């Protein structure tokens, strides 16, 4: 009986490892898609078409203990994303997350 229990435990651990690897890969794919959409959203919102944008070029994807984080270190990014009393919001990051969610890009 113990032999079968050990075998079952071993199989469950293998399934768990495969599930974790798959989840991590899907999380990475989602983060990379969010970054790509966020950059596109920034370039589309520019009044003049520039070949580069400091904000777009600083969007990064980093691994963390719970998956991946898409972020930027540009201090004014929050004012662009959420707006101010003087300027309307031009969401780029939250819009990107919604675009990934609605595109079904995580399941391909």
18 in any annotated domain: no
1 in any annotated domain: no
92 in any annotated domain: yes
pLDDT of residue 76: 97
97 in any annotated domain: yes
pTM: 0.78
Phi and psi at 71, nearest 5°, equal -155, 175
38 in any annotated domain: yes
Give the Cβ contact number of residue 48 at 10 Å: 4
39 in any annotated domain: yes
55 in any annotated domain: yes
Q: Bridge partners of 63? A: 68
59 in any annotated domain: yes
Three-class SS of the chain: CHHHHHHHHHHHHHHHHHHHHHHHHHHHHHHHHHHHHHHHHHHHHCCCCCCCCHHHHCCEEEEECCEEEEECCCCCHHHHHHCCCCCCCCCCHHHHHHHHHHHCCCCC
* Domains in the chain, number: 1
- In tens digits, what is the pLDDT along the chain, a chain of 108 residues? 566 777 767 777 777 777 778 888 888 999 999 999 999 999 998 877 777 899 999 999 999 877 899 999 999 999 999 999 999 999 999 999 999 999 876 555
The domain of 51 spans 25-103
């Amino acid at each position: 009986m113990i032999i079968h229990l050990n075998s079952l435990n071993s199989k469950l651990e293998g399934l768990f490892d495969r599930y974790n690897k798959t989840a991590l890969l899907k999380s990475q794919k989602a983060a990379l898609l969010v970054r790509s959409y966020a950059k596109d959203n920034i370039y589309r919102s520019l009044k003049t078409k520039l070949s580069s944008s400091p904000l777009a070029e600083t969007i990064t994807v980093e691994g963390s203990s719970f998956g991946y984080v898409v972020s930027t270190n540009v201090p004014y990014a929050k004012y662009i994303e959420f707006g101010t009393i003087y300027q309307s919001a031009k969401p780029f990051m939250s819009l990107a997350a919604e675009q990934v969610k609605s595109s079904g890009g995580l399941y391909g």
